[in-house]
Amino acid sequence: MSLVVIPARIGSTRLANKPLVEIAGRPMIEHVYRRAQAAKGVERVIVATDHEDVAAAVKRFGGEVMMTGECRTGTDRVAQVSRKLPNFEIIVNIQGDEPLLPPEMIEEVTAPLLSDPKLGMASLKRLFLDEEEPTLPSMVKVVTDLNENALYFSRSLAPYPRNMVEKGPFLHVGIYAFRRDMLLQFTELPSTPLERAEGLEQLRALEHGIKIRVPTTKHFSIGVDTPDDLEKVRKMFDIQSNS
């Protein structure tokens, strides 16, 4: 059984009070929480935050919340929670701005750790949709080896299509599963040159020689980063409720 931790901070430069924005009559963080609860193999879901307004909202809908101190990244916030709960071997980190996250994605990201006891870290990738633009720096690409272990993550287009790409490029899906010891080790590692250059903390793991298994998912979710994203997601909820 696994623990899902949802790091949620109130500050966002592009969308104010992001975890608390209303979607279909509920705060966004509640939608993410309910999706996590629905995944098979999840024993406990906790929202990790440093803001009382987020904590109060979670308590109102009956969710579990844990207050954390100042954290550099969401992963550091997840690690703070993990240190207090030593009985969970597998920790899943999902973003608090994924109200449409399919529960199956949580099952997919934990599967590699369940099948390989030596593996410490996993994530997901998917093919780009026709309407998505792979060259955008905000769309992080991942390149994997023949065994689906990550070779590199980049904001640039990777691989460069000098010849026809047989399959891909692949979009990195920002959901992670850690073995607890690996999570705690990862957050203690010093930052690395490629991590700083790309602004991608997962490169810290690769630069320190940590293997990340990245299977392909056929499921799809939309992260809410901007007001336009929020309106798009609200419309999708309206369609689902009327269908």
d(CA 225, CA 18): 8
Contact 181, 118 (CB under 8 A): no
Contact at 8 Å (CB) between 161 and 152?
A: no
Q: Return the pLDDT at 13.
A: 65
Hey, how many other C-beta atoms are within 10 angstroms of the C-beta on 92? 27
Tokens of 203: 């490169």
HSE (CB half, 13 Å, CA atoms) of 176? 26
167-213, pLDDT tens digit by residue? 889 999 999 999 999 999 999 999 999 999 999 999 999 999 999 99
* Entry pTM: 0.94
Q: Which residues, at least 6 apart from 204, have a Cβ–Cβ distance to it below 8 Å?
A: 186, 189, 191, 192, 195
- Mean pLDDT across the chain, nearest whole number? 94
Looking at residue 239, what is its pLDDT?
82
User: Which of these, 111, 114, 194, lies nearest to 158 by C-alpha position?
Assistant: 194
As given in the structure block, the two tokens for residue 99 are: 């109200």
Q: What is d(CA 68, CA 49) in angstroms, rounded to the nearest whole number?
A: 6
pLDDT of res. 142:
98
Tens of pLDDT along 10-50? 876 678 889 999 999 999 999 999 999 999 999 999 999 99
Look-up: residue for tokens 């939608």?
A: 31
Identify the CA nearest to 142 among candidates 168, 164, 177, 116.
Answer: 168
Type and span of the H or E element at 111: helix 103-115
The span from the CA of 74 to the CA of 143, in Å, is 23
Q: What is the pLDDT of residues 140-153, one digit of tens each?
A: 999 999 999 999 99
Position 243 scores a pLDDT of: 63
Residue 230, phi then psi, degrees to nearest 5:
-60, -45
pLDDT at 138 over 70: yes
User: Quick one: pLDDT band at residue 76, thresholds 50, 70, 90?
Assistant: very high
